Amino acid sequence: MATSRTLATAAVCTAVALGAVTGCSSSGGFGDTSAKQSTGAGQSLTVLIASSGEAETAAVKAATAAWAQRTGNTVTVQIASNINQQLGQAFAGGNPPDLFYVNSDQFANYAKGGSLYAYGEQIPDASDFSEQLRKAFSHDGRLTCLPKDSSTLALAVNTTMWQQAGLTEADYPTTWQQLADDAAKLTKDGVTGLVTAPDYQRLGALFKQAGSWITNPEQTAMTADAPGNRQALEYVQGLLKAGSAKYVADVDAGWGGEALGKGRAAMTIEGNWLKGAMAKDYPNVPYKVLPLPAGPAGPGTLAFSNCWGIAAKSRHQAAGVDLVKQLTSADQQLEFAKAFGVMPSRTSALATYAEKYPESKAWVDGVAHAQPPVTVPGFNQVLTQFNTDLQSLRTADPAAVLAALQRNGEQVVKNAR
């Protein structure tokens, strides 16, 4: 009899355990799409950022803390190690942070999947952001996500090496030919004339200078195999073969700034993030920032930006919009510019920035003829593969590299429509 009783007890226990397993399901299964909105003070917001370093982290924390204090809410800032992966998992998991950086190459993915709350209409002075940036962060014609900052590429040269090579300011390159000549003159004794990262985020500027780009302006068709692109890659290949240009890994550097800072490069192509890094890591290296030389079709550079995304599933959307307004205000953007060297995304603030930091003029001026990034959903993978192909450009056939890009991209563009 005793056994039967134990058996019964055990059966009950198991049943309870079973219930606990299935009962653990709180809310938040797949069907849950509504987000009940909180109002008033005392809300708790989570902000996820991809930080370039301690300066950026501290600045964002200070700015959000100031807002939190003013409004009576609390803000937690989390630093992502791989923001695309973390956001992707968070969206699929149904538990995203309230506010986060959105990379321009991921924007379309998130917007198309309905993960972003489109709040652009609530920003009365949205026209202060450049049209190009607004377009990059609009989905179905609605501004979804406010640009956090803006960046362009320029040519940074080591002025000491410049003089040592017997060059003067008059020799600053304004054409591809001059760039090639200068790079050849600067290459000697362990110094390479031009060092750059082997990715489309740098070399793509030459596409624009040659009058073409990876897609058509509407991003509905691939134009990667356009003759201009081939001309650009053949030009870079020529420099690489001549030895007057090298990729960063070939000079044991992680990126252009490191190559310039360690004295292994006389010139590099980088964006305005270079300024903060040089000041911090290599304060004694003298350099000057010049506009990128013009190509056969005129001047051209690339524009980059992140935007402040608000989750469609956030329960603090109103508070989130208020926080974004604060973070993208002209004053705050100039504050960020001071703290970690980013360029404001507001046209008005950009003008102030240009006055305050004349040494960054080349980057500011670049905005006028900058090519915005490709924002087709799923295109990120295609560009990663293109970057891989660019690594072996010295020995590769430029036409074949571009043909692969064209082929890979066509599928994605077709799927996106």
Partner 1 sequence: MLARFPRPLRLLGYAVLLGFALLYLLPFLLQLANSFKTDPDAAAHPMTLLPDGGTLDSYRRLFGLAHGVENVPFLGWLGNSVLVTVLVTAGRVLFDSMAGYALARIAFPGRRLLYGFVLAVMAVPGVVLLIPKFLVLKSFGMFDTYGGMVLPLLVDAAGIFIMRQFFVSVPREIEEAARIDGAGTFRIFWSVVLPMSRPSLIALTVLSFQGSWNEFTHFLVSTQSSEHDTLTTGLAHFVSGGLGSGTQYPLKLAAALVSTVPVAVLFFCFQRQFVRGANSGSSKG
Partner 2 sequence: MPADPRPRGLHGLRGLRGLREGAWGWLFTTPMVLVLGLFMVLPIAMALWVSLLHWDGQSNPFDGSADFVGLDNYRRLFTVDGLDRTLFATSLRNTLYYVVLTVPVQTVLALALALAVNQRLLRGRGALRTVFYFPSVTSSIAVSTVFLFLFQGSGAVNRMLGWVGVQGPNWFADPRGLVWLVLGWFGVDQPAPTAGGPLGLAWSEWFAGPSVAMCTLILMAVWTTSGTFMLIFLAALQDVPRELEEAAALDGAGRRQVLRHVTLPALRPVLFLVLTLGLISTWQVFDQVYVMGKGAPGNTTLTPAYLSYSSGFDNADYGQGAAIAFVLLGLVLLLTAVQRWALRERDGAPGPRSKGVRRAAR
Task: Name which of residues 49 to 88 contact partner 1 (CB under 8 A).
Answer: 50-54, 57, 78, 80-82, 86
Q: How near is the Cβ of 213 to partner 2 at its closest, in Å?
A: 19
Instruction: Work out whether 26 is an interface residue with partner 1 (CB under 8 A).
Output: yes
- How far out from the chain centre does Cα 43 lie? 30
Instruction: Work out whether 21 is an interface residue with partner 1 (CB under 8 A).
Output: yes
Q: Nearest to residue 315, comparing CAs of 86, 44, 112? A: 44
Q: Nearest to residue 95, comparing CAs of 28, 43, 41, 143? A: 28
Instruction: Work out whether 89 is an interface residue with partner 1 (CB under 8 A).
Output: yes
Instruction: Work out whether 14 is an interface residue with partner 1 (CB under 8 A).
Output: no
Region for residue 58 given its phi and psi (left: phi exceeds 0; alpha: psi -120 to 50; beta: otherwise): alpha
Phi, psi of 51 (to 5 degrees): -95, 145
Among 117, 213, 255, 379, indicate the residue that binds partner 1 (CB under 8 A): 255
Q: How near is the Cβ of 2 to partner 1 at its closest, in Å?
A: 6
Instruction: Name the residue with tokens 């003759």.
Output: 227
Q: How far is CA 250 from CA 201, 233, 245, 254, 292, in A?
A: 18, 18, 10, 10, 22
Look at residue 24 and give the partner it binds from partner 1, partner 2, none, a contact being a CB closer than 5 to 8 Å depending on partner kind: partner 1
The token duo for 261 is 């800072």
Task: Name which of residues 112 to 141 contact partner 2 (CB under 8 A).
Answer: 112-115
Sorted by sequence, the CB contacts under 8 Å of residue 219 that are 6+ apart come out as: 374, 375, 376, 413
Q: How near is the Cβ of 95 to partner 1 at its closest, in Å?
A: 5
Q: How near is the Cβ of 39 to partner 1 at its closest, in Å?
A: 24
Judged by CB under 8 A, the stretch of 228-236, 286-294, 319-327, 374-382 that binds partner 2 is: 374-382
Q: How near is the Cβ of 91 to partner 1 at its closest, in Å?
A: 10
Sorted by sequence, the CB contacts under 8 Å of residue 119 that are 6+ apart come out as: 144, 145, 146, 310, 317, 320, 321, 324
Q: Angle at Cα 202 formed by Cα 51 and Cα 171, nearest 5°?
A: 120
Judged by CB under 8 A, the stretch of 85-93, 204-212, 225-233, 284-292 that binds partner 2 is: 85-93
Instruction: Name the residue with tokens 């994605």.
Output: 412
Instruction: Work out whether 88 is an interface residue with partner 2 (CB under 8 A).
Output: yes
CB of 84 or CB of 406, closer to partner 1: 84
Separation of alpha carbons 176 and 169, rounded Å: 17
The token duo for 207 is 């596409």
Q: How near is the Cβ of 194 to partner 2 at its closest, in Å?
A: 19
Instruction: Work out whether 397 is an interface residue with partner 2 (CB under 8 A).
Output: yes
**Interacting residues with partner 1 (CB under 8 A):** 2-3, 6-7, 10, 21-22, 24-30, 46, 50-54, 57, 78, 80-82, 86, 89-90, 92-95, 254-255
The binding site for partner 2 (CB under 8 A) comprises 3-4, 7, 10-11, 14, 17-18, 21, 30-31, 82, 84-85, 88-89, 91-92, 109, 112-115, 249, 252, 254, 378, 380-382, 384-385, 388-389, 391-392, 395-397, 400, 407-408, 411-412
